[in-house]
């Protein structure tokens, strides 16, 4: 029974360390734009029935016994964070659920694209490349509703990038709440492409691949679909902040430290009990 207690306590301490890793990651990204905090869940290990024997020699169930808990899985909290004004017309923030669809920049043009060439992100800090295609911070392409790269010029169908075909983003660019891109310079108005907005029916089946990029977990159907107008809102010139809270994560960290310390004391007590048994065994010889 003592050895079982040690094993149970040790597994509890490992679970606390796993919890602390998640908490530390959340705390480190409190100021990271678009960051979504993680949660960790735990499960009992080898829970078994406990029986008692009565005077007649018969057994009856009296409950269950676990030999500890362990980290089960980590999932992402996609709850809305606050928005902050950036002053950049190429910045777009979500108000509500949704993801931008992004295509890797290094895929050759002659390759037929499939889902392995795309990922999804919430962060809308965009820029234009040398050919005036809309890209993210890694240089990957933002997709429109037809799965095409988005090009922001007065005439997107021509490769001309002279001053006549460029646009003054500080004055002309309009990105509406449904993702429709327009140019309006007073004497010139043009409706361009529309940003594609996607979402997942089951967000517990998607995971991060780092830097605010998300993909469905391999082998699982997260229910990817394209959102319709009116089910989301994009805010131009805004950035979504992190939904991780310093106060919440510090409280979690303190609770983890206290829990770990309590388990450490229990483990020390159990070790001392074993040592006493060993000493008694040596004396009785």
135-152 confidence digits (pLDDT tens): 999 999 999 999 999 998
Could you report the per-residue pLDDT of 235-267, keeping only the tens digit for each? 999 999 999 999 999 998 898 888 878 877 877
| Same domain as 73, residue 34 | yes
Query: Residue 159 contacts by C-beta under 8 Å, 6 or more apart in sequence?
Result: 131
Number of domains in the chain: 2
Residue 33's CB is within 10 A of a number of other CB atoms, namely 19
Domain of residue 179 covers 83-237
Per 3-state DSSP, the chain is made up of helix, strand and coil in percentages (nearest 5) of 25, 35, 40
Do residues 43 and 101 share a domain? no
State how far the Cα of 63 lies from the Cα of 113, in Å rounded to an integer: 56
Q: Are residues 94 and 28 in the same domain?
A: no
Burial of 266 (0-12, 13-18, 19+ CB in 10 A): middle
In Å, how far are 131, 143, 153, 217, 263 from 150, measured between CA atoms?
A: 11, 6, 10, 27, 56
Apex CA 118: angle with CA 166 and CA 74, to 5°? 125
Under the banding of pLDDT at 50, 70 and 90, the label for residue 97 is very high
More confident: 7 or 194 = 194
Same domain, 226 and 91: yes
Residue 213 and residue 108 share a domain: yes
Give the pairing type, strands 92-95 and 83-85.
Answer: unpaired
Same domain, 162 and 272: no
């Amino acid at each position: 029974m003592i050895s079982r207690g040690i094993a149970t306590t040790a597994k509890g301490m490992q679970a606390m360390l796993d919890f602390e890793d998640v908490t530390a990651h959340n705390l480190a990204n409190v100021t990271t734009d678009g960051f979504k905090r993680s949660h960790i869940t735990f499960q009992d290990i080898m829970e078994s029935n406990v029986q008692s024997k009565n005077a007649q020699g018969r057994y009856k169930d009296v409950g269950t016994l676990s030999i500890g808990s362990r980290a089960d899985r980590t999932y992402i909290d996609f709850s809305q964070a606050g928005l902050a004004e950036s002053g950049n017309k190429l910045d777009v923030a979500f108000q509500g659920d949704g993801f931008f669809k992004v295509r890797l920049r290094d895929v050759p043009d002659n390759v037929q694209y499939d889902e392995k060439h795309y990922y999804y992100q919430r962060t809308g800090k965009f820029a234009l490349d040398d050919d005036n295609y809309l890209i993210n911070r890694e240089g990957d392409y933002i997709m429109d509703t037809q799965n095409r790269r988005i090009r922001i010029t007065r005439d997107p169908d021509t490769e001309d990038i002279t001053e006549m075909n460029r646009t003054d983003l500080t004055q002309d660019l309009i990105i509406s709440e449904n993702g429709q891109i327009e140019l309006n310079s007073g004497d010139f108005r043009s409706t361009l492409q529309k940003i594609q907005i996607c979402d997942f029916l089951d967000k517990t089946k998607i995971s991060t691949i780092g830097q605010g990029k998300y993909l469905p977990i391999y082998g699982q159907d997260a229910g990817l679909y394209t959102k319709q107008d009116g089910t989301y809102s994009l805010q131009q010139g805004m950035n979504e902040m992190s939904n991780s809270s310093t106060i919440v994560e510090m409280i979690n960290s303190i609770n983890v430290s206290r829990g770990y310390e309590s388990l450490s004391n229990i483990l020390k007590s159990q070790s001392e009990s074993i040592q006493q048994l060993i000493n008694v065994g040596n004396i009785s010889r």
